[in-house]
Amino acid sequence: MFTLFEILTFNRLNGGSNIKILGLVGSPNINGNTAKLINAILDGAAENGAEKVIYNLASLNIKSCDACCRCQESGCCHIGDDMQELYREIKTADAVVLGSPVYMWQMTGQTKLLIDRLTAFLNPNFSSRLDNKKLILVFSQGSSDRDAFKPYFEYTAGLLYYLGFDVLETIVAAGTDKLEVSSRPGLLEKSRELGKLISASHLSKPEFRRTESSLTPIL
């Protein structure tokens, strides 16, 4: 097992990583809590040499799935909207950071629109066309009870696993109604460190993967 220090030293000595990390922000707040966490992860990855790309889903034109189901055969969605760019970005990214605030106990509508359209990555037998793409899941919630939506976060991680993502970590910022993410340097620093870790591309999956739980709440 490598320590974080060893990982960072290795990467520095080897000129950093050449990986691309894609951030997808599912909040209508362009610079809100969710965006700040995702940006911190991306900044950490960039410090380690990764290329970072970020989109705010609410600023894009993403239509709802129209249930034509032709994508399962063809592998591509026929709807000519901004999802076409996101399909390309997801395919070419080495790691994806997907985040949403909790709205009414769930992800936002913008995030769900994206998730529904990811059905284009499924084959007719429901296996995935994605090859265990690394993903970090980010949630922020007003409630300070960090266990309030834990089953939903685990359920969502399971759904993303089914879609072909290797969910490495779920970061939860609880209690944002009282204390915004911008006032939590410890949480932002841990997010940056996670970004550095995910950009350590030389690590093979079993060493990179965390222990049994995909849910690691961080204050």
Ligand X SMILES: Cc1cc2nc3c(=O)[nH]c(=O)nc-3n(C[C@H](O)[C@H](O)[C@H](O)COP(=O)(O)O)c2cc1C
Chain positions contacting ligand X, by CB under 6 A: 27, 29, 32-35, 101-105, 140-143, 176-177
Q: Token match 């951030």: residue?
A: 23
Do you know the residue count of the chain?
Answer: 219
Q: Which is nearer to ligand X, 108 or 201 (CB)?
A: 108
The DSSP annotation for 119-158 comes to GGGB-TTS-BSS--EEEEEEEE-S-S-TTTTHHHHHHHHH
C-alpha span between 161 and 142 (Å, rounded): 26
Residue with Cβ nearer ligand X (105 or 162): 105
Comparing CB distances to ligand X, the nearer of 91 and 178 is 178
What would the two tokens of residue 114 be? 């994206």
Going by C-alpha positions, the residue among 213, 180, 195 that lies closest to residue 49 is: 195
We find the least distance from the C-beta atom of residue 173 to ligand X, in angstroms, to be: 7
d(CA 211, CA 147): 19
Residue 110 or 201: the one with the smaller Cβ distance to ligand X is 110
Among all residues, whose Cβ is closest to ligand X?
32
Q: How far is the CB of 26 from ligand X (least distance, A)?
A: 8
